[in-house]
Amino acid sequence: MSRVGVVFGGSRGIGRAVSWLLAERGHRVVVVSRNVEAAQATADSLPGGEHVGLSCDVSREQEVQRAFETITKTCGPVGYLVNAAGINRDALLLRSKSEDMVSVLHTNLLGSMLTCRAALRSMLSKGGAIVNIGSVVGVKGNAGQCVYSASKAGLEGFTRSLAKEVASRSVRVNLVVPGLIRTDMTAGLKEEDAGRRIPLGRFGEPKEVAQAVLFLLESPYITGQVLLVDGGLRLVM
């Protein structure tokens, strides 16, 4: 059955790969990012028709509210929600600026809470599935990434709790936890160095994370789970 799938952070990287797989399955995709041209360009490049690009800063409550009003009015009720919008401002805590801490927490953690709350308004009556995107750093911690790690660890508790809150209404909520994936976010890292630490010996591709996201969206009896897609990195961290 074709559904409306909303992908925050869908213009690039992991979110873009998720948008592609959703479109290939015949779903109508709403690609969301702050940059509307990028979101629209990605929407236009997807297979199938009638995909939509929208601008929304996920950390701003009113923008999120307005985005969902537009989506339900133009596309109908949201069946799938993927929260792939994320930023990092990596620094040792002693050197971290307060405004960077707020940006990271508001984008990565509060942003997912706002989109989930808004999506639930249609999902509670018709059912649906949500996948949030965490990070292996949220599971194990990493020096220089305290704030990013806290935002991603917070998503794990949020995902499990929300899964309990909404299971009786046929809404499922899961978390995919990537390791090091080749996207703009990791462009500054040298794969020769970082890849050596990963048991599978290389960075992951966005599509390899997207496949796990699709699996969870489409698995009717899985909720509240955390699925690592990290080439084994968690095993050696």
Which residues participate in catalysis according to the annotation?
A: 148
Query: Which residue type does 138 have?
Result: G
Neighbouring C-alpha atoms within 13 Å toward the C-beta of 152: 26
Residues near ligand NDP (CB under 6 A), total: 30
Compute the Cα dihedral for 97, 99, 104, 105 and give only its sign. Answer: positive
Determine, following the binding rule CB under 6 A, whether residue 145 of this chain makes contact with ligand NDP.
Answer: no
From candidates 19, 40, 59, 115, binder to ligand NDP by CB under 6 A = 59
Determine, following the binding rule CB under 6 A, whether residue 115 of this chain makes contact with ligand NDP.
Answer: no
Binding part of the chain for ligand NDP, among 94-102, 122-130, 182-190, 192-200 by CB under 6 A, reads 182-190
From candidates 6, 46, 84, 173, binder to ligand NDP by CB under 6 A = 84
Determine, following the binding rule CB under 6 A, whether residue 38 of this chain makes contact with ligand NDP.
Answer: yes
Q: Smallest distance, Å, CB 149 to ligand NDP?
A: 11
CB-neighbour burial class of residue 137 (10 A; exposed 0-12, middle 13-18, buried 19+):
buried
Residues pairing with 132 in the sheet: 83, 175
Sorted by sequence, the CB contacts under 8 Å of residue 224 that are 6+ apart come out as: 159, 160, 163, 164, 167, 173, 174
Pick 124 or 194: Cβ nearer ligand NDP: 194
Determine, following the binding rule CB under 6 A, whether residue 40 of this chain makes contact with ligand NDP.
Answer: no
